[in-house]
Structures are given as structure tokens and as C-alpha cells.
Chains A and B, each alone.
Chain A
């Protein structure tokens, strides 16, 4: 009996211990939710975004890095950051702009009037398109501050070209591509003389000499480069051209560009103005009129004029005059609500949605109506430069009241459904642009600018996800000083359910501006470089140092865990060219390279040969080493540059 009782007690004790052990080690979902104060809605959002280790994302987002001058890549729905691509700004990790000749050359390409510019105000990425769909080959991005456009090759995710606009002094409506990436477009923003000469800022000069414009940069897909000599600009009045979109399908061959300040107002507000002191601020005069103008350009006709030599060269660049464009029936103006912002062409190419910004409405224009007016030459008048103006009412399909401060629109997979950001309301509106009906509004946090849906500006939007690109999150994250992070908010737009907020992703870089979301399986990046494709490839066993006068060329290899050669002596004043081949093939065997004091850094991916150039201006002993933890003996992967 005693034995039975003891056994029973032991059994009970064992059960209790195992129960305690179980409850201590394995938390249930309910327990975690309770501890962390999560609701069922939160758990559902987590389940929709959580991406377990090793699982990949369905979409990739290419987001402007704003004032950081970079391009950011992240995955959706996980919102995991994948890459920063150095574009207009040096990027230390990859070594872009730190002595490696390719990166140095890129940044040199972006010099304006002899000035090296090491930042950029990137705004609008544009993925290359084939038949109006993203093709995953290239992405373009602009620099508003210093009018430039860059090309990033999506095989390597590296910047391969920067072109400087030879006549603009700023830009904004860029980059936008035509449906087969024939052109990357760049619309000016703040009017200025095309020449680089000083022209006094008087109303007369402003009206007669200051100019806007749209540059159509010809793209050669095989070369993967913009072709400046085959590119041209359409001269436009000194209105501030703004957001631009390319026509598609039935509107293919046309482009649509908003504008502000068609008043041509020049402000002078406040103390300290050197002249025009009597005037009110820009913002007062620039929004005086009820309407501004959408610029409608037939770029195929402009292309014909260019090919026929109907242009003049300014700063070595072809400019087609407004007069020739009007004569060729290739340039028109269409009134739009004053100071508008977004200008977005529907997937079928028929409708153009312009968001009012200062108006609570979005206006849906019908391209068929516009085309009819153009074909019949049914114009409401002409602007001071002789450009025909179309009748606004005769061009409109619908006007819909959405809320305060409508800005940009992106399309859904479902026909007629569009999403528009409401800046002042801090909300996203879902509405039907065919029926002209507001369906739903979702609050976001806060200051939304652009928004992006999956492939939402192509001929085949994918729906599913929307990201609100919000500026300066004031209460969503831990405080990190007075400059707040940006907030990319992921929103579920699947099905006909109400929109629901899934995730907040802070980004500690510049203003997000625009982004594009592409199906991940469209991207085919290379995994590693082909060694033989580099002309300065150093074969193992052929490492050497060559000297011709004061020109020293070092041919090095890098492999786990040594450079060859490891000790190199040169003389002060030598001009050094240093080729380094990473002879590894394992895809994660990247080696870094730096030399003390000389401000050099390179990231050498497997199979890659990089070349660094510098002048040995200082004598002394300079260790060099691998900056990536490449192997167990990584710290030993080092050497000495001895400068006598």
C-alpha cells in the first residue's frame, strides 16, 4: 500500500514537473499576445507579413532615397531591407566613390560645370518597361537638385551611368519611361535660362528668356545606356513643370506633365531680398489663378522633328522650339485645378488622373475626348506663347471629391479602382475613377506623399499591397532626436475587403518620394561576376608590381585569407594603379580592401576585378587589409604599402 502511495505521489510529482516545464518553455500564441498587448487584428497583420528565415518576398520595392541620393531596395510583404544602391552619393560599403575607378568615373560623369557633386535629391525611380509592363532590366532615377538622371543595371544592382541635363537648372518630373523604354523623360521644375549665363530676374526676362522643358533621353537597351546625342528637349514656357507620366496603349506616343505657377509669379517676400521687395511670397502669387496647365506632348512627333533636324543646339544639346512643336500639332495645354500634383495615366491608357493638392477633388481626364478636340482643332484659346489650350470641361470624364490635399494615384488590379494619397488628411482614398465614386478612406501616419501599389503604374497592376510613403513619423517609433525617421506603411488591399494597415517600416534616410513595386520573379540578377569579363583580370600566379617612371601598376589577387602580393614598396609621388581580382567563386566570398590614410575602399565581389587609382602623396607605412569578415583568418588578410 505504502509503495502504491509513494508511486502515486512520484507520478503526480512527475506530472506537475512536466506541466511546469511545458508551461515555462512553450508559450502559446495567446500568451504572447496577452503579454505584449496584441489584438487579433495585430496577430493577423503579423501573420500576413512575417516571413520565416529562408523564405523570400513576393515583391521588391525600389524606393527613392531622397536627400541621401541613393536608391533603396526592400522586400514585400516582409519589409526587409535588402540594399542601398549608391547613385549620386558615394556609398562606402560598396566602395562607390572611394578610389575605385568605375565608381569615381560615375560620380565624375555627374559633374556639373566642373563641380563634383556628391549628393543628390533622388525623387522618382522608373523601372524599365516592355509593352508597358516592368521588365526587371533597368531602373532610372533622377536628381531634382542637380538635374541629372542615372541608370542602374538590375543585373548587378549598380549605377552604370549618370547623365547631366545640359540646359536645366532643376527638374522634378523624372524619371518616367515610355512603354518600351524608348525614352526616359525629365521635366524641368524651376524655370531658368537654358544658357549658363547670368540673366537678371525681371518679369520681362522671366517671361522671355527663362524657360521650362521636357527632355526625352533616348535609351539604348542593348548598351544599357542613355544616348545624349540622340536625345532632345521640348522647349516649354516658364511654368513650373511638375509630375509627368507617359501615355500607354491608346495614349502611347504622348506624355502628360502637370505644372504650377502658370501665373509666372516671382516673389520677394521678407527682409533681405535684394530686389522685388514690394512683392508677396512665391506661395501667394503662384496659386493666384484657379487653374494651371497640363502639358500634353506628342513625343513621337517631337522625335520626328528631331530626326528632321528641326532643333537648335544649346550647350551642345538639341532643343525643339515651342513654335515648331505648335506648328507640328505636337504641343497642347489643358487647364487643371491650381497647383496640382499627381498626374497618373490609367492602365488602359485612356484616363489621366490629376490630383488637386489645393483642391479636394481629383479630376479624371478622358484621352479620347482630348484626342477628339486635338483632331478637330477645337481649342479654347492660346497661352502667351501661342500654345493651343483645350477646353477643360470638354476633356473631363469625372471629378471626384476625395478629401484634403490629394496628391498621387496608383491603380488596382480591379478595373476602375485607384488609390490616391491625401496629404493634408493623412489618409489613403480608394475610389472608382470610372464611376466617379469614393469608396473608402484609411488613415495613415502621417504626411503621406507618394504611394505605391504592386506594379500599380503599369498596364497590368497586381493589386495586393499598397505602401504609403510617409514623411517624418512623429509618434510611431522610439525617439531618436529631432529629425524623425520616414515611415513606409504597408497596407493590405487584397480583395474587396476594407484596406487594413499591416506594418510600419522606419527608414532612417531621406524623404521617400516615389517607389515602384515589382514582382520579384521578374528580376534576374547575376550571382557572381565573370572573371574573364574584366580586362584587368589578374590570374593567380601572375601577380606583380610594374614600374614605368613614377607610374606604378600593382596586379593583385585576393583569396581567403591573403592578398598577393602582401608587401609593396613604392616611392612618394608615385601614381598608383592597383588592380585587384577576387579569384574566389563562392558567392559570399566578398573581400573588402582599404589602405590607411588614402581614403580608399573597395568591395570586391567573387570574380570581380576592381581598379583603384591614387597618388602616393604621403610617405610612411600604410597597412592594407580586407574589410569584410571573409574567413576565420580574416584578420590576417592584410599587408603593407610602404611609401619611401
Chain B
């Protein structure tokens, strides 16, 4: 399979400058907040989710992915009126799944990244619906077409974003 991790290089863990571990999630949450104000359509794009997926795939550690997702989700919750942990639960699960998947497949393939982003966006929104509708008992309108469009947009933006984030990656040989 072309998408499977077959070479040692692909299985290497990649390093990342430490400050970027803090700066990139904060920037993602901030840009999301600022851009959605001036471009309401931007609210459909979930930059913190894409950053969560990217770090989880890059770290290839389910535990690290879980904590990364939980922290980014809680930061995102902090800017909303929702209780802290709503996005945290969703992104913790996505981080765990993405890190588990990152060990097994070639995460640098654009096609694989596109499918990963689309699939995890749908999964994230499904978990979010469960949390909001059943844990918090709040109204939530689920529209399959809308969710698929959102997933496609996230997938395309994710491929571009992952390429940009790769530029700052430091490989361990």
C-alpha cells in the first residue's frame, strides 16, 4: 500500500522547535477568533482541529496526542461561552486516534493527509454533536451536507497548512 509507512525515514519521529508547540496552537485559536469575525464563513473552518491532527500525526504518541488535543480544545473552549472541556473531549479523542494512525501510515502523502483531515473532521463534529446534544442537552442542528462541506474545506486547508508547518520541522536522523 502506498499509504502505509514502509520506510524507516517515514517512521522517524520528527522534531519541532519547542516554542512552536505553544505558539502554533495559540495562533490557530487566535486566527480562528479574529477571522470568523470579519469572514463569518471562516467559522466553518476548524484551525485548532487541524493543528491537533498535525501534532498528533507528527508526534506519533497516543498519549501526547491525547494531551495535545485536550489542551488545544480547552483553549478553544476558553473563548466560547461553552463549559470548558466541550471541545477538549472531542479533540482529545481525535488526538489519540490521529497519533495511533500516524504510526501506521505515511503521513506526508498529500492524499493521505486529505483523507485524514476529512475523516477526522467528520469524527470530531460527530463527537461534538454527542457532547453538546446529550451531555450538555443543548440544541444542535446536524446537517449532513453542511458537515460534508465543512470536512472537505478542512481537508483542503489541512493539506496546505500541513505543508506550511512541515517547513519548520526538524528531522531526527
Whether A and B are associated in the same complex: the answer reads no
B interface list, Cβ under 8 A from A = none
A interface list, Cβ under 8 A from B = none
